[in-house]
Chains A and B, each alone.
Chain A
Amino acid sequence: MPSDTATHALRPRPRIGVRALVAYLIAALTVAPLLWLLVTVFKPGDEVFRPGLPSRLTLDNITYVLTQIPLGRYVLNSAVVSVAVTVVALALHSMAAYALARLRFPGRQLIFSLIISTLLVSLPVILVPLFLVVKQLGLLDSYAGLILPAIFHAFGIFLLRQYYLNIPRELEEAADLDGCGYFRRWWTIVLPLSKPALASLSVLFFLANWNAFLWPLIATQDPNLRMVQVGISTLQGQYVSGWHYVLAATVVAAVPTVVAFLIGQRWLVDAIKTSGLK
């Protein structure tokens, strides 16, 4: 076994070699389309198809879509739905995961298996019957119809349960001796301890719901309930020759996801890496 120093010497020293240059080039090419989008929305309308940099920078396109199109309303709808789904889902999943990881009750394994068996079920697979269920419940064209079906997903429960299995039992037992009820035990001890896992999931849930398109597309007809992805997709048909407006709207729709990514990058990466280890 080589000593520490020997191990160290074997590792390639950080330097900008061919590998790094190739990596920079690929990274640049990957983000180029997105950067080009960003440049284009600040171009005057008549320069959209002109290659190269804009003759002047303008906020006209952004101002137009924010004032002449109910884009603000779409953004608001998406914000309400995304935040509601994220908060409620985290609370419910955390409670269920805590019970499944820590509390002993008959049928626990069965319930856990049932939940896990839905892990691979994606929206397109159950789209038609889900639509019929939500229609029967009278939830079409309502915020509830946008929010409720988006809450329940096995992945969050699964991830949190794995996390809770690793929380030392002693921390809970201290609370037990103080005569804490199970709800208080969850609220005052388990929930604060699960901040990293909750942070990962909140970024994931927010992004998934902000970016949701298919369900909002079929669950709502009312233009006042349009979520942002549906909103910008309808512009596609309306502004056939108005690419500068369509693109400005897509930038407005994309900004919150990029911000969420930049803030939550570390947690998001954790959640994605964990998903692959199981």
Chain B
Amino acid sequence: MTVVQRQSPGRTARPGDAPRSGPARGSLAGRRRREALAGYAFVAPDLLGLLVFVGLPMALALGVSLYEADGFGGYTFVGLDNFRLMASDDQLWQSLRVTGTYVVAFVPLCFVVSLGLALLVRDHFPGVSGVRAALFAPNVISLVVVGIVWQFLLIDKQGMLSNVLRPVGLGDVSFLGSPGLAMVTYILISVWFFMGYNMLILLGGLKDIPREYTEAAMIDGASSWQRFRHITWPMLRPTSFFVVVNSMVGAVTGLQAFDLVYVLTRGGPANSTSTVVFYIYQQAFGFNHYGYASALTTVVVAFLVVTTGIMFVATRGGRFHAE
């Protein structure tokens, strides 16, 4: 009983929470027990599902990484061999470079573009909701379709973009054919895909900034840059923090690191767009190296937890402090 009371903090405790004695309601203890049983029954299916399909795999990842599995049911214990193997795996380091470059380029670029768009469509003008929908549109289409469409638009020499750029002498550029450029293309397509999504989140944050603040600043003669710098930017900080962390997690472990790569470039040319996630997929399902792939997975998770933690501490949780 005491446990029950501790479990219900101020939010759930109400003034009218005193035991209600009705003729048909039974004792308070009986009521509490019925409520607890119902609670467990309601949570059980989801909890069980999460345990089997999320919790168990997470726990298993660490276990499997100590084995080498051949994919036919055979497992051999190899201790930390899988982790030792990583040091000399050039392709792993290449994929880490790809993911690192992608994060460093995609996250800030996408944030700046999304914020610019959010500020652009923040106030009303004729057709503003149509513009917002158009900017968000790429995000509802699957990354597979996106990959196929851009592959088509970027076909060497014959593609739409080559036709558009021919007059300025860029008609023969191979956007997916050269290592450096393929990476740039992958990043820009990702920005195009995600900018509308981030824009919507930032719009939500902008809407929560009281109009009175900017209006008061306008009366005081603050320029639009000053209003942005001293009102909008600091007050938008929690939302910005969410967008940046969200983009970062997505850039490392999201579907954009697999689906788009798989369809657009298959990691090429010369592994220049082979992300860590794509490399793990290749190791597991191309070569049946489940143990090694699991070991790689644990490293990625550790990397992500550490970077997110550092960011969280560095930005003090992204909260706005009135200093």
Contacts and interface: CB of A to CB of B under 8 A. Distances in A.
Interface of A: 1-2, 7, 10-12, 14-17, 19-20, 22-24, 26-28, 30-31, 33-34, 36-37, 40, 49, 51, 92-93, 95-96, 98-100, 103-109, 111, 114-115, 118, 120-134, 148-149, 151-152, 154, 157, 165, 169, 177, 179, 181-183, 186, 207, 210-211, 213-214, 218, 229, 232-233, 236, 243, 246-247, 250, 253-254, 257-258, 260-261, 265, 269, 272-278
Contact of B49 (A19, A109, A148, A177): A148
Interface string B33-66: 0111111101101110110111111101100100
B124 A14 contact: yes
Contact of A122 (B136, B152, B253, B263): B253
A103 B35 contact: yes
Given A16-B125, A214-B259, 13 more contacts: A19-B120, A23-B128, A104-B32, A105-B39, A124-B277, A125-B297, A129-B56, A129-B60, A132-B69, A253-B142, A269-B200, A273-B201, A277-B239
Contact of B259 (A26, A154, A213, A260): A213
B107 interface: no
B36 A104 contact: yes
B18 interface: no
A37 B138 CA distance: 12
Interface of B: 3-4, 7-8, 11-12, 14, 22, 24, 32, 34-40, 42-43, 45-47, 49-50, 52-58, 60-61, 64, 69, 117, 120-121, 123-128, 130-131, 133-138, 140-145, 148-153, 155, 158-160, 163, 192, 196-197, 200-205, 208, 211-212, 215, 218-219, 239, 242-243, 249-250, 253-255, 257-259, 262-263, 277, 280-281, 284-285, 290, 293-294, 297, 300-301, 304, 308
A132 B239 contact: no
User: Which of B34, B140, B204, B258 has most A Cβ within 10 Å?
Assistant: B140
Contacts of A218: 281, 285
B38 A104 contact: no
Contacts of B294: 128-129
Given A105-B36, A152-B53, A30 B135 contact: yes
A2 B69 CA distance: 72
Interface of A, helix, strand, loop or mixed by DSSP: helix
Nearest to B36: A105
Interface of B, helix, strand, loop or mixed by DSSP: helix
24 contacts: A7-B211, A12-B123, A30-B134, A33-B150, A37-B149, A92-B46, A96-B46, A99-B39, A103-B42, A105-B7, A108-B7, A123-B255, A124-B258, A125-B297, A127-B281, A151-B49, A182-B38, A207-B140, A214-B258, A247-B149, A272-B197, A276-B200, A276-B201, A276-B204
